[in-house]
Structure 1
Amino acid sequence: MYLVNDTTTQACPTLAAPAVRVRRLGIDTHQEPIIYMRRDCPVCRSEGFEAQSRINITVGERTIIATLNVVEPALFPDELLSLDEAGLSEAAWKLLEPREGAHAELSHPRPLESLSHIRAKIYGKTLSAEQMHAIMRDMVHGRFADVHLAGFLAACAGDRMTNGEIVALTQSMVDVGEQLSWNADVVVDKHCVGGLPGNRTTPLVVSIVAAYGLTIPKTSSRAITSPAGTADAMATLTDVDLDIADIRRVVQREGGCIAWGGAMRLSPVDDILIRVERALDIDSEGQLVASVLSKKIAAGSTHVIIDMPVGPTAKVRSPIAAQKLARMFEAVAEPMGLNLKVVTTDGSQPIGHGIGPALEARDVLAVLQGQPDAPADLHGRAVKLAAEIFELSGKVAEGQGAELARQILDDGRAWAKFQAICEAQGGLHEPPVAAHQHDVVAERAGTVVAVDNRRLARAAKLAGAPEDPAAGLEFHARLGTRVAKGEPLFTLHAESPGELDYALAYVAEHDGIITLE
């Protein structure tokens, strides 16, 4: 992702690039390559490297660009980092793959012309397709620091992107990565815009659709601001870290897959931006559309259903906002040659019982296996979305998709296909169970009249989801439910007492998570 491998990224000419020995410091910087050097290091001083400088690091035939963190020699003992050494973060080490003590050449990168395009966007200018492509090209080669990525995201947030810019962004995100193609005239997919806890329909839809015989190479993301993404939930059941060769093998064998998109170079810029979006806790509409559609196009999809939950505490909060976002999806999909339909769904409360990777995976298994306590809302939503895919594909007549999808799910064909897909991806596993559980109960009797999706999701995250796969919560208090005093509204699941306490403290401070009348 950050390897520099083209001629436009060579360092400024120098008589001889200075060299230092590299040391692995074991510091996790969450995918951002960082280099650590002492302030009194001769190379650091002679080259004018300062904190936050961007530095070309070359070891053998591998070159990356990393951000410099300067350490104070008085506070950093020589045995950790000597004058002639440079420490590397885990991200930088894994990209360079040096041996311990290997020599690395350091140099200043060339100034980036595309930074001027980002500055122009910050000041409200409209970017051309060529400018957008230059930004994406430099981004995929790791030439930007996180502060530059954050600036680009902030400049594009809100209504600051035209449809033309979103089309250019989408196409550029596709162009700088790899692309899949399939021996099929129709390749289908679906995506949910998010904001609705527990809405884990993808494993069900893929199983239904693939069981019917359509091709559905599903690549999914991990959570950005939610307690679980599809890849997080599926990772508790099977291997999702598939490369492109693995995806081809699984799809050719079973007609579908459910893989993590970050394990391959399909729209790789998207994963770089998602990492920074997660830290900023933003998910702007233009970036959302480009992110979703670039992944679908790169995966070779021809027909795509967009699930758009609408509710007062969902990501999309009103029918007017839903119409606006739907028009944006359609405006970008058309010039990209993508057949697309947006389906608005109820986003007033969570779907299913579980919120968190393993808990949501258990809901999926319950529906596939036809268990008596399987969540009916998850079953119904999966049938609806699979029906929309069937009819959009043109392989099933209008009005007949729902009954077909229901039959495939209820007669066991979808469960058989899901098991086959998991087996092809590495085997089906049992989801983990959290070590600590605690009921949050009603303080008085009443009827549930409102659920705050965002605060409920926040409680699940504070309990440890998605980093701890078993963490999250079980939701009991559906809208219209009559509850007695002391009856559980939801049950928190955590792997450690500390995280359980964090979640309970948050719940105690926010009275409006579940509203009773």
Structure 2
Amino acid sequence: MLRLKRIGISTGRENVAFLSRACPTYRAAAFEGQGKVEVLAGSKRLVATLDLVDDPAILPPDCLGLSEETFARFGQVEGSDTRLDHPHPPKSREGLHAKIAGRELDEACFRAIIDDIAHHRYSKVEVAAFLVACGSFMTTAETLALTRAMADAGEGLHWPDAPVVVDKHCIGGIPGNRTSMIVVPIVAAHGLPMPKTSSRAITSPAGTADTMEVLANVEVDLNRMREIVAEAKGCLVWGGHVKLSPADDVLISVERPLNIDTREQMVASILSKKKAAGSTHLVIDMPVGPSAKVRSAEDAARLRKLFEYVGDAIGLTLRVTISDGSQPVGRGIGPVLEARDVMAVLENRADAPPDLRERSLALAGRILEFDPALRGGAGMARARELLDSGAALRQMHRIMELQGPPPRVATLGSLSREVVADHDGRVMSIDCYRLARIARLAGAPFDPGAGIDLLRKVGDPVQAGEPLYRIHAEREVEFRFACGLAAEASGYTVNGNGKEPL
């Protein structure tokens, strides 16, 4: 037996165990070939990647170490007796190899793979291989099978007293498009239940969960989520904490560094979360633009059909709306700046970004028309009434109160620099992808006060030396990275006179 020791190292969603190379009980070399071990304590079993330790000050020879997250998953107290075994290959390994070889999988194979991913039986390398294989070849039937498997892998929410449970999701790619934080309080103020679970950013400068965390706690459990929705008719929480479609969170943690975001994986990720959350009616916002995730009408049509096919098959009433993805929405990119824009709209301030306000009203109107009590076409007017009257703002404050205060006070990054125009003209285009990269280099969303404050939008006149946007950062190194990228190319095109983008 080895004594269990908690090692203060974060390994994210991957299980990692640490064994002393001088361990008197187990020969470390016997496990090196596989790179994995099975950790056992009573009836508890856990497969982990094995790392070897040479320093006894870090790990004594008679101890087995587990990283922070792995220790929490194992659920045993420090000092417990543990033993090791050679791991049994995951039951789905054959299916994984078949997918890597380019073969089509049935639903049973996907369920087995997703179950093993959800229970952390695969390493990051194996998960990456699965994602790349799916990105290379995946049929519509496989996308449906993957969606069902992901939706059923974790806990599910049910709302027996609500025949209509609504939700919305934007497929992303447009910085500042934080409409959910306005739509949820509007719809909740009307009385339709909207249990909104949102993602943290994968490749963007902020996800809805990152921005909402500036205003309130987003890490609530399922029971508390039910209570909040029962009282306020809506919530804005992080989906990863409530363990809906948990395999998706593992997949996202690998997608982020690889910058993988395929059409099929996107559909399975979004719809599995909505199905697991108990939604019955869903609006998908699909921005289309030259630097958005979807860049042409043809791509939008194909993705729309895939959403509709899978949505119909899993019992979701689904509408897809196509929106303008030609430039960022609002004036802020990054959690603190986006939260500022959201509250400006909800508070009906004169300086509220009009594009964020109108997009939010249009989406809220479409969702409200799922209500059988509203006459056709009345949704937009009802949404505007709830926003203009202050009812939506009051509902947002109620949701924030019930979710609790944010984990820390987030303020705008103190390091700032303006990026200016080098000649007179008019802003002709803004590269969403470029600005998102600059904002992420500045530290967003990990530093919530980092990001970009937009001072000019498409169509605005600008003179040489006037600012186009302002970069904010909290750390000197990241500030230099962001400013360096902006100096190479700002992402703005001024005038249509054939000049290269600034």
For residues 161 and 184 of structure 1, the distance between their equivalents in structure 2, rounded to whole angstroms, comes to 35
- The equivalent of 2:10 in structure 1 is 28
For residues 409 and 357 of structure 2, the distance between their equivalents in structure 1, rounded to whole angstroms, comes to 21
* Aligned: 1:209 with 2:187: yes
- The equivalent of 2:471 in structure 1 is 492
Q: Would you say the 8 A contact 1:203–1:258 is kept in 2?
A: yes
Q: 1:432 to 1:48 in 2, by over 3 A?
A: same
For residues 384 and 194 of structure 2, the distance between their equivalents in structure 1, rounded to whole angstroms, comes to 18
Q: 1:53 to 1:43 in 2, by over 3 A?
A: farther
* Aligned: 1:504 with 2:483: yes
* Aligned: 1:268 with 2:246: yes
Q: Would you say the 8 A contact 2:13–2:120 is kept in 1?
A: no
For residues 206 and 345 of structure 1, the distance between their equivalents in structure 2, rounded to whole angstroms, comes to 19
For residues 66 and 90 of structure 2, the distance between their equivalents in structure 1, rounded to whole angstroms, comes to 24
Work out which of the residue numbers 262, 281, 295 in structure 2 matches 1:284. Answer: 262
Q: Would you say the 8 A contact 2:20–2:28 is kept in 1?
A: no
Work out which of the residue numbers 146, 149, 154 in structure 2 matches 1:172. Answer: 149
Which stretches in structure 2 are left out of the alignment for 5+ residues?
496-502
The AA in structure 2 aligned to 1:507 is: A
- The equivalent of 2:130 in structure 1 is 152
Q: CA deviation at 1:369?
A: 0.4
Write out per-residue CA displacement over residues 159-182 of structure 1, whole angstroms, 9 at most, x where no aligned residue: x21111111111111111111111
For residues 164 and 373 of structure 2, the distance between their equivalents in structure 1, rounded to whole angstroms, comes to 9
The AA in structure 2 aligned to 1:411 is: S
For residues 354 and 61 of structure 1, the distance between their equivalents in structure 2, rounded to whole angstroms, comes to 51
For residues 387 and 304 of structure 1, the distance between their equivalents in structure 2, rounded to whole angstroms, comes to 13
Q: CA deviation at 1:431?
A: 4.6
- The equivalent of 1:7 in structure 2 is none
The AA in structure 2 aligned to 1:500 is: F
For residues 459 and 266 of structure 1, the distance between their equivalents in structure 2, rounded to whole angstroms, comes to 32
Q: CA deviation at 1:438?
A: 1.6
Write out per-residue CA displacement over residues 103-151 of structure 1, whole angstroms, 9 at most, x where no aligned residue: 3211122222311111111111111111111111111111111111111
The AA in structure 2 aligned to 1:462 is: L
For residues 278 and 498 of structure 1, the distance between their equivalents in structure 2, rounded to whole angstroms, comes to 21
- The equivalent of 1:16 in structure 2 is none
Q: CA deviation at 1:236?
A: 0.8
For residues 158 and 474 of structure 2, the distance between their equivalents in structure 1, rounded to whole angstroms, comes to 42
* Aligned: 1:295 with 2:277: no
Q: Would you say the 8 A contact 2:455–2:469 is kept in 1?
A: yes
Q: CA deviation at 1:43?
A: 4.4
Q: CA deviation at 1:42?
A: 4.2
Work out which of the residue numbers 423, 430, 452 in structure 2 matches 1:473. Answer: 452
For residues 187 and 25 of structure 1, the distance between their equivalents in structure 2, rounded to whole angstroms, comes to 43
Q: Would you say the 8 A contact 1:208–1:405 is kept in 2?
A: yes
Q: 1:153 to 1:43 in 2, by over 3 A?
A: farther
Q: CA deviation at 1:247?
A: 0.8
For residues 225 and 46 of structure 1, the distance between their equivalents in structure 2, rounded to whole angstroms, comes to 38
Write out per-residue CA displacement over residues 186-237 of structure 1, whole angstroms, 9 at most, x where no aligned residue: 1100000000000000010001101111111110010011000000000110
CA RMSD of superposed structures (Å): 1.7
Work out which of the residue numbers 67, 86, 89 in structure 1 matches 2:49. Answer: 67
Q: 1:395 to 1:329 in 2, by over 3 A?
A: farther
- The equivalent of 2:295 in structure 1 is 317
Write out per-residue CA displacement over residues 362-415 of structure 1, whole angstroms, 9 at most, x where no aligned residue: 111000001111100000000000111122444422222111111111111100
- The equivalent of 1:234 in structure 2 is 212
* Aligned: 1:460 with 2:442: no
Q: Would you say the 8 A contact 1:52–1:69 is kept in 2?
A: no
- More moved, 303-312 vs 58-67: 58-67
For residues 143 and 134 of structure 1, the distance between their equivalents in structure 2, rounded to whole angstroms, comes to 11
* Aligned: 1:131 with 2:109: yes
For residues 366 and 374 of structure 2, the distance between their equivalents in structure 1, rounded to whole angstroms, comes to 10
1:71-470 superposed matches below 5 A:
71=53, 73=54, 77-158=55-136, 160-182=137-159, 183-427=161-405, 431-470=410-449
- TM-score by structure 2 length? 0.95
For residues 343 and 20 of structure 1, the distance between their equivalents in structure 2, rounded to whole angstroms, comes to 57
SS in 2 for 1:464: coil
- More moved, 306-315 vs 260-269: 260-269
- More moved, 95-104 vs 274-283: 95-104
SS in 2 for 1:35: strand
Q: CA deviation at 1:437?
A: 1.8
Q: Would you say the 8 A contact 2:93–2:113 is kept in 1?
A: yes
Q: CA deviation at 1:95?
A: 1.9
Fraction of identical pairs, as percent: 47
Write out per-residue CA displacement over residues 34-90 of structure 1, whole angstroms, 9 at most, x where no aligned residue: 11223443444277100662211124553321101234x3xxx32223332333222
SS in 1 for 2:416: strand
For residues 68 and 43 of structure 1, the distance between their equivalents in structure 2, rounded to whole angstroms, comes to 16
The AA in structure 2 aligned to 1:387 is: G
Q: Would you say the 8 A contact 2:20–2:56 is kept in 1?
A: no
The number of equivalent residue pairs is 493
Q: Would you say the 8 A contact 1:188–1:393 is kept in 2?
A: no
Write out per-residue CA displacement over residues 333-389 of structure 1, whole angstroms, 9 at most, x where no aligned residue: 111111001000000000001111111111110000011111000000000001111
For residues 349 and 375 of structure 2, the distance between their equivalents in structure 1, rounded to whole angstroms, comes to 30
* Aligned: 1:45 with 2:24: no
Q: 1:239 to 1:46 in 2, by over 3 A?
A: closer
Q: Would you say the 8 A contact 2:308–2:318 is kept in 1?
A: yes
- More moved, 33-42 vs 316-325: 33-42
Q: Would you say the 8 A contact 1:197–1:453 is kept in 2?
A: yes
For residues 51 and 487 of structure 1, the distance between their equivalents in structure 2, rounded to whole angstroms, comes to 61
For residues 41 and 91 of structure 2, the distance between their equivalents in structure 1, rounded to whole angstroms, comes to 26
Q: 1:392 to 1:269 in 2, by over 3 A?
A: same
